[in-house]
Amino acid sequence: MAVEQPLTSPTGDQTRIHDIGYRGYDGPRLGRSYASRSLYSQSLRGAYGLGRSAKSKVLPMLLFTVMCVPAAIMVAVAVATKAHELPVQYTRYAIMMQAVISLYVAAQAPQAVSRDLRFKTVPLYFSRPIETADYVRAKFASLASAIFILTAAPLLVMYVGALLSKLGFAHQTKEFAEGLVSVALLSLLFAGIGLVIAAVTPRRGFGIAAVIAVLVISYGAVSTLQAIANVQNHTSAIPWIGLFSPVTLIDGVQSAFLGATARNPGAVDPSAGQGVVYVLVVLALIAGSYGLLMRRYKKVGL
Amino acid sequence: MYDPTVARLTYRALLGRRRALILGALPLLLIVLSVAVRALTGADDQTASDVLGGFAIATMVPIIGVIAGTGAIGPEIDDGSVVYLLSKPLKRPTIIFTKLIVAIAVTMVFSAVPTLIAGLILNGNGQQIAVAYTVAALVSSIAYSALFLLLGTVSRHAVVFGLVYALVWEALFGSLVPGARTLSVQQWSLAVAHKIAGGDLVTSDVSLTTATVLLVAVTALATWYAGQKLRTLKLAGEE
């Protein structure tokens, strides 16, 4: 600041350089945790288009409906036919609907981070009291919560429907809880993968295509290989192949520990040892994507 | 009808920087997959047909079509730099046509060539399977590029809608509602492949005549409408 210093200052109070009469802020400072909580809640709302234009509400709401309608139909069928069991297990539902979940992640992950990069608003965030870790955690948590809402809502529909049609309370509650654990893992994993890819590109369209390519294509490739291994009677290889796509990873974890039956061709459940490997890989991927995001935001172009 | 400068700019927008990498990753995966399959099973016509039909035609070609088709015009409209292109003394349909040619070329190179290579690896073109699926990839490249280019001019969420069509309509609806298969680029191109491949390894739900008529009609209509759309393009700010 090139401002002339007054040469003489008889009283200490005269040293004011420039006062154009703005009033200083002396209210409460809400601080870092408040800022990151706001970022979290705004991002979560943004993931469903709340507080944004009507056009951007269409897709998330549509996908949310598409996720819930089959669950409602299943409940209706179960009530009408007086079945003793829901037609589909809680743990199986998310795997069945993986295309919809992948589309949601692909559409909303770039929405959460790419726009901040493209319009260069990230430096503005960091001029607030929040730090890199807060930003990453808030975005990660908000996308994971959004996916959790998307995947847990149909399970809730099924659970309530099951209780209304008087299926066994204890049994349903246990399966519902297992389903929730599995979709929580799925949300964290998908959010991590989606955000890491989306944070690389400021172009929204490219982010979407890249996320979908990783989620869907890897699943397609893995299922093809598993089907062929099954036909060729290499059934012991099937669980190992499943380690290479996010959807089959979750499927493996839940069929090893959460009482689901594996959805892979041949329905080969992973053994307990393989299950441990699955869990480790899932946790490593979640931690790794968090680490990569932290690295990505260490330096954001000013 | 074809403007070399527009074509050059579009090529650079599609393949410049790291974008060629993501386009190249998918074909690479297909080839790795087919090498693995060949090593696991040896040459088998049915397996080759399953891999090419299930992975190459059903997933890879549409996704590359979405990336190339919408990528040829979408980002420009999105960031507003399309005004510089539109203010040049070029006919709007010429711009669309040029971009379509580029999108088709890129989709063909990144989908049909790897399909052919994968087919050769899988069973050495036994029963013309590799050639049949390559032709299917070529044919569907044209239709997908035209469709997704149109989507790119119509909506700023073109990529999502393109993927919804490619993954939900063709894959999910097609397997549940038989009628949806008549309206699917994938089935039209398979009808053409059916004609070339020997035996019943490649099947389609649509007859060759219907498929050809629909393919030509969809491509021509989509290109024409995209040209019209670009003539009256309204530039909107970010929502």
User: B72: closest CA among B152, B189, B178?
Assistant: B152
In chain A, the residue whose alpha carbon lies closest to the alpha carbon of B22 is A210
- Enumerate residues 6+ apart whose C-beta is below 8 A from A209: A106, B22, B63, B66, B67, B71, B159, B163
Domain membership flag for residue A26: no
Percent of chain B residues past pLDDT 90, beyond the cut: 20
Query: What does the pLDDT read at residue A126?
Result: 85
Given an 8 Å threshold on Cβ–Cβ distance, is A231 in contact with B41?
A: yes
In whole angstroms, how large is the CA radius of gyration of chain A? 25
Tokens of B235: 């530039």
Pick the more confident residue, B216 or B122.
B216
Q: Dihedral angle at the C-alpha atoms of A257, A263, A266, A269, nearest 10 degrees?
A: 0
Measured at the CA of B140, the angle between CA A219 and CA A67, to 5 degrees, comes to 40
Domain membership flag for residue A184: yes
What residues of A are in contact with residue B167 (Cβ under 8 Å)? 99, 103, 212, 216
User: B135: closest CA among B192, B59, B184, B182?
Assistant: B192
pLDDT in tens, A216-266: 888 888 887 888 788 777 778 888 888 888 988 888 888 888 877 777 676
- The whole-angstrom separation of Cα B79 and Cα A229 is 47
Q: Dihedral angle at the C-alpha atoms of B149, B153, B155, B160, nearest 10 degrees?
A: 20
Given an 8 Å threshold on Cβ–Cβ distance, is A231 in contact with B238?
A: no
Which residue segment(s) compose the domain that A58 sits in? 35-296
In chain A, the residue whose alpha carbon lies closest to the alpha carbon of B162 is A209
What does the domain layout of chain B look like in residue ranges? 4-231
For residue B128, give the DSSP letter. Answer: G
In chain B, the residue whose alpha carbon lies closest to the alpha carbon of A52 is B239
B78 part of contact set with chain A, CB < 8 Å: yes
Given an 8 Å threshold on Cβ–Cβ distance, is A213 in contact with B26?
A: yes
Q: Which residues of chain A have pLDDT under 70?
A: 1-16, 264, 266, 301-302
Tokens of B57: 């035609």
Which SS3 state, helix, strand or coil, does residue A13 take? helix
Query: What does the pLDDT read at residue B239?
Result: 45
Q: What share of chain B is helix, strand, coil (3-state, %, to 5)?
A: 80, 0, 20
Given an 8 Å threshold on Cβ–Cβ distance, is B71 in contact with A216?
A: no
Give the total number of structural domains in chain A: 1
Query: What does the pLDDT read at residue B99?
Result: 92
